[in-house]
Structure 1
């Protein structure tokens, strides 16, 4: 077997392994959320509202499942977590990248979304989190800490730190960023269960835009904290916009 075929086979195995890791994180996430929900409803005797379900989802999936699956994968393969996923206090340069990435992700999404809407008859789907926030805008200030502490760090640890980092060992930086994005964006399909397939697919396609930015800032800074904060700021801005449109508008 020549070297090119060996490299191709190795890369395909890595892609398969990362697909498996993505699937495992979702399975574990669903299991944890179901366990937490059962504990609240059956154990404590509380009725689970939409806002409560959203918080349990953030805790169970982004707060527990994603970091745990990523950590177990790294330790199983004998990797030192903090070496494989570099984590440090952001430098002044990192802070600049965080601000630039935050504005860039929002700006790029706005441009691409407008271009897509100009040529498409399908409107993007609204995910369940956004719908819950729109129906309960007073919940946003309480939600924001979870966005910064669980949502951004949890997703970025798994998809940028572990998955993109693993791809980076066998692929170029642009390829690793794109491949990690292709793993990341489709997992949001479960947030659009009430939308049409066309609307859900359109929205998932749009989610690749900020995901590429998250991957790029991680590659540039080699600091997990940077994409975690960019992601948190990005989501917080979206939720904040919904809050302002419902409360002020």
Structure 2
């Protein structure tokens, strides 16, 4: 699809507060749409409803039920972005989707490698400072089921990364360009993106652990936002995001396959990084 021209500093005519409120509203709308979209999954697997009502573990549900729940969640999130574009007259032409150029590929590779390096550098820092990281509920969903891990890699590439990057980068971040510089838009979007993932971390953990994990979410979002801002191509942050999460799941698969236990510095760092898988 044809990509609209890049905005410049002279194009900014939106009020920062209003634009930020719109961004937050879009995020809330995305979360609500995702909740409604998952309703068929609860009918498909009643255990999911029991877990939601009684606060059990999602790992108790069937693999098919968990898979359907996650897929519908991200379909709902993406639909919120589409509804906004159609309702505001921006239309599908607003979507920055094209075959990557050579420059796009450079940013895609840099974003993929950079996000993985960032994850492990921060993990090392947290380990040295003895800062704990909150465990994502994704670990609860997957458990030690290697088949589910492979399914998660599929979901990451075809539903998770496309939905999140479409809503947060191509809709929210791009909408913020009207009131902020691109750098400012990236930062505002990243704060919102990190805040959205707060429920994904076990609240029973310490506040420091939760903040540590959210700081990683924020940093990853800045990286994805940056490569999107430099390319105006949704495929670039989407693939980079998917590569990062797929790498984490691959590490989890290896950890289970070879029964890697925490205790030695290297395995501990590997598992800590895996435990912070965001979705």
Q: Cα distance, 1:143 vs. partner?
A: 2.5
Partner residue of 1:86?
Answer: 96
Q: Cα distance, 1:193 vs. partner?
A: 3.6
Secondary structure of the corresponding residue to residue 25 of structure 1: helix
The answer to whether the Cα contact below 8 Å between 1:25 and 1:69 also exists between their aligned partners in 2 is yes
Higher mean C-alpha deviation, range 90-99 or range 47-56: 47-56
- Mapped to 2, the partners of 1:108 and 1:193 lie a distance apart of 23
Q: How do residues 113-124 of structure 1 correspond to structure 2 at under 5 angstroms? A: 113-119=123-129, 121-124=130-133
Matched, 1:23 2:28: yes
- Structure 1 moving runs of 4+ over 4 Å: none
Structure ranking higher in helix proportion: 1
Matched, 1:106 2:111: no
The answer to whether the Cα contact below 8 Å between 1:85 and 1:161 also exists between their aligned partners in 2 is yes
Check 1:175–1:57 CA distance in 2 against 1; reply closer, same or farther (3 A cut): farther
Matched, 1:159 2:168: yes
Check 1:32–1:247 CA distance in 2 against 1; reply closer, same or farther (3 A cut): same
Q: Cα distance, 1:243 vs. partner?
A: 0.4
TM-score with structure 2 length normalisation? Answer: 0.77
Matched, 1:247 2:252: no
Partner residue of 2:43?
Answer: 38
Matched, 1:70 2:78: no
Q: Cα distance, 1:10 vs. partner?
A: 1.5
Partner residue of 1:10?
Answer: 15
Long gaps (5+) in structure 2: 1-11, 48-58, 260-279
- Mapped to 2, the partners of 1:23 and 1:197 lie a distance apart of 26
Long gaps (5+) in structure 1: 1-6
The answer to whether the Cα contact below 8 Å between 2:172 and 2:189 also exists between their aligned partners in 1 is yes
- Mapped to 2, the partners of 1:218 and 1:56 lie a distance apart of 29
The answer to whether the Cα contact below 8 Å between 2:16 and 2:179 also exists between their aligned partners in 1 is yes
RMSD: 2.3
Q: Cα distance, 1:41 vs. partner?
A: 3.1
Higher mean C-alpha deviation, range 72-81 or range 192-201: 192-201
TM-score with structure 1 length normalisation? Answer: 0.86
Matched, 1:204 2:214: yes
- Mapped to 2, the partners of 1:165 and 1:8 lie a distance apart of 14
Task: Give the alignment partner of residue 215 of structure 1, picking from 225, 230, 236.
Answer: 225
- Mapped to 2, the partners of 1:192 and 1:237 lie a distance apart of 20
Partner residue of 2:56?
Answer: none
Task: Give the alignment partner of residue 199 of structure 2, picking from 190, 201, 209.
Answer: 190
Partner residue of 2:149?
Answer: 140
The answer to whether the Cα contact below 8 Å between 2:45 and 2:62 also exists between their aligned partners in 1 is no
1:18-49 CA deviation, whole Å, 9 max, x = no partner?
1111111112212222332224439xxxx972
1:195-241 CA deviation, whole Å, 9 max, x = no partner?
42512232112111111110011011110011110111110000000
- Mapped to 1, the partners of 2:66 and 2:203 lie a distance apart of 16
The answer to whether the Cα contact below 8 Å between 1:156 and 1:227 also exists between their aligned partners in 2 is yes
